[in-house]
Amino acid sequence: MHFDLPTLMAAGSFVAAMSAVFVFFAWTHARDGTEMLWWALGYGFYAIGVALLTLGTVEDAELAIALGAIVLNIAPALFWMSSRLFNRHRVPLVALFGGLGIGLVTMAFSPIGLSPSLQMALSLAIFAAYTLATAWEYWRGRGDGLKARQPLIALSLLQAALFSAGSVEAATGRISAGDIPLESWFGLVHFVSILYLIGTAVFVVSLSRERAERLQKVTAETDALTGVANRGAFMAYAGEALHRSLQGDLPLSMIIFDLDHFKRINDSFGHAVGDGVLKRFGETARRVLREDDRLGRIGGEEFAVILPDTSLGSAFVIADRIRAAFDGDCRFVDRCAVNATVSAGVTTAHPSSTLDSILVAADEGLYRAKQNGRNRVERRRAGRDSDGGPFLEVVA
């Protein structure tokens, strides 16, 4: 079974043009980066390049075919550029224009000019190389967990594989510029290209929106000054952690920190230095804490840490490590001898605990630390709490 080459190429050009319009208008709505704009431009070059190749095939115009091959090979380079920009990577100009330069030198200029079959093979190979590089870029950035990366990787790998196979067939003379046999690898290129164009348009837009939504969520849950969780986000996480702890009969502890004499620091050195002290504490605490621990700023100079699967004794040790580290790290801020310190209260949950009750218990420990001289870690007093449970002061 054979297919008419110009018809398939015209269909591919039309789909590329529509994909360019779709991605461009998605970009005008979001305006959260230039990567979608470059991807839309890639579709534009794809549409023009295939249109020129179609015209050259119908009219037997060698110049149109040569120009079409050159313009078409700009498209995958722009797709690759877009993928690097999405990952916040620099775009090397040599790599960006290298494929196009090779194509110009070997396909357009005599006596280096190649035969038509080798020109086709080289053009397909360049396209495959850039497409494979695009798949690699999306793969190497997979750590962000964005789900739209996977279909983009799969589509790019499929496109690269078929273009590579088509390049081999063209180089060995098994296909020509006439009708395309269905049983050839190159016979699948135009069908898969349409799938690639439509699929990547959808998933490039989805990827950009997914990242934007995640950024908005992180921004809404993050304290702008210190970069730690804000009060709302911390309380939500702490409530979920407490629920998991009680359901699984697992230990859970909390620490509340309060910077000592913070008002005096603001009054003596200014609010800019005070902000620097708050930032320094956030940096110090995050350096000491473990991956599953969650730090939040719950008041002006007050911070809290929820410690899943952690006993009271371990929480005490962690709190004192943060206290000691901050004591050493915050002697100077912006060349001002602030000598900032922090006090902390620790507690652990019991079967009848609520989030409010462990907050109160940790806060009582903090109050004792302030009473006993500051720059220290304390537990709440011995006895029974308002829920009737023990205070669990014994440090394991």
In one letter, which amino acid is 342? V
In one letter, which amino acid is 346? V
Which residue has 């498209």 as its token pair?
Answer: 75
Secondary structure of the chain as H, E, C letters = CEECHHHHHHHHHHHHHHHHHHHHHHHHHHCCCCHHHHHHHHHHHHHHHHHHHHHHHHHCCHHHHHHHHHHHCHHHHHHHHHHHHHCCCCCCHHHHHHHHHHHHHHHHCCCCCCCHHHHHHHHHHHHHHHHHHHHHHHHHCHHHCCCCHHHHHHHHHHHHHHHHHHHHHHHCCCCCCCCEECCCCHHHHHHHHHHHHHHHHHHHHHHHHHHHHHHHHHHHHECCCCCCECHHHHHHHHHHHHHHHHHHCCCEEEEEEEECCHHHHHHHHCHHHHHHHHHHHHHHHHHHCCCCCEEEECCCCEEEEEEECCCHHHHHHHHHHHHHHHHHHCCCECCECCCCCEEEEEEECCCCCCHHHHHHHHHHHHHHHHHCCCCCEEECCCCECCCCCECCCCCC
Residue 345: what are its φ and ψ, rounded to 5°?
A: -125, 140
Instruction: Tell me, yes or no, if 301 is annotated catalytic.
Output: yes
Contact 253, 314 (CB under 8 A): yes
Which residue has 């996977």 as its token pair?
Answer: 150
35, 137, 169, 301: the active-site residue: 301
Residue 350: what are its φ and ψ, rounded to 5°?
A: -130, 175
Which residue has 């190429």 as its token pair?
Answer: 9
Structure tokens at 203: 């998933």
Longest alpha-carbon distance in the chain: 95
Q: Catalogue the active-site residues.
A: 301
